[in-house]
Structures are given as structure tokens and as C-alpha cells.
Amino acid sequence: MLEGLQIGESFVGEGAHAAHVNTVLGHREGPAGVAWASALATPSAGHVPFVAVLRPSLPVKPLTLFVTKSAPDSDEHGLLIWGPAQAGVAAGVADAVAEGSIPAAHGDTHVLIAAVWVNPGATDADEIYRNNREATRTALRNGAHGLPSLDDVLAARDTPSNPFYTPGSPA
């Protein structure tokens, strides 16, 4: 398991209900703590970071700042961000602690920032929840283990692809 600042990424699911989560985990008294507090104190139009909770008045530990990658484009989209995506992130953090990707001792000493994408075209709350839970858990595991490996990155450099672009595919 890596010490210090841990950065993770995971993409789970397909189409409008896919989850893309980036995580930054570190000590409250280090750069992660400064970034966490700064982000919470400086919201911008459409991007209001908030503390992820498992239920009202029960924040997940380590304290997790949920940061949207897309501004809500409708009331329904906002509810999917604040509801199932947030619940999935909170549960995924708790899963990461339960499985040991985050040591339990870090619950009160570390903070987590989760940057989360919820597609404005998404409609299925349960799928959004499941995908964000798994993406968060996986991003934290990846961060704890320094994944992906540099060998994997170098092996894929000539064949990049993502859900929005694959070289040589028709537009």
C-alpha cells in the first residue's frame, strides 16, 4: 500500500449511467487537507462541493468531499448527483475502508476528494448508485496500489480509446 498522497481513477458502466470517479486521498494536515478545505470554501457556479454522507448527519470517513465534474443541467440531473451518485460514492468509500484499501486508522486523520461525473442523460438511479459505488471503491484501491502500472500505460500508448473516442472509428 502506498503512503502519502494517493490518486485513483476508475470508470464503471456504459452509456449515460456510467460512472467516472477520480480520487485524491491524503492526510488532513497535508496538501490533500488544504485542497479539501479550499474546494469546500470556494464553490463556483454549478459546482458546489459537499460532504458525502451515508445518510443525513452520518458523513462517511474519511471525510469525503464530493465534487461534480458537470454542473446540474436540470432539477432531475441535480437530484441524481445529490442522491444516488452521492450515496454510491459514500458507500464505495466505506467499502474501501472495510476491504483495507483505506486503513481504518485513516478515518479521522485523512480526507478524500472525489471528482464525480454524472451524465445529464442518466435516468436510472439504482444503476447510477451501483456504478458510482464500484467506481469509487476501485479508484481508491487503484490509488492505494499505485495502479495502473507504468508498464500498462506504456503498453496502451499506441491504442488509446475511451467511451467518446477510438482512433480510426467512424464519427
Instruction: Find, among 92, 89, 85, 73, the residue nearest to 125 by Cα.
Output: 85
Rounded CA-CA distance 56/139 in Å is: 25
Active site residue ranges: 20
With contact defined as beta carbons under 8 Å apart, do 112 and 65 qualify?
A: yes
Tell me the three cell numbers of residue 167.
482512433
Rounded CA-CA distance 60/94 in Å is: 7
Other beta carbons less than 10 A from residue 79's beta carbon: 13
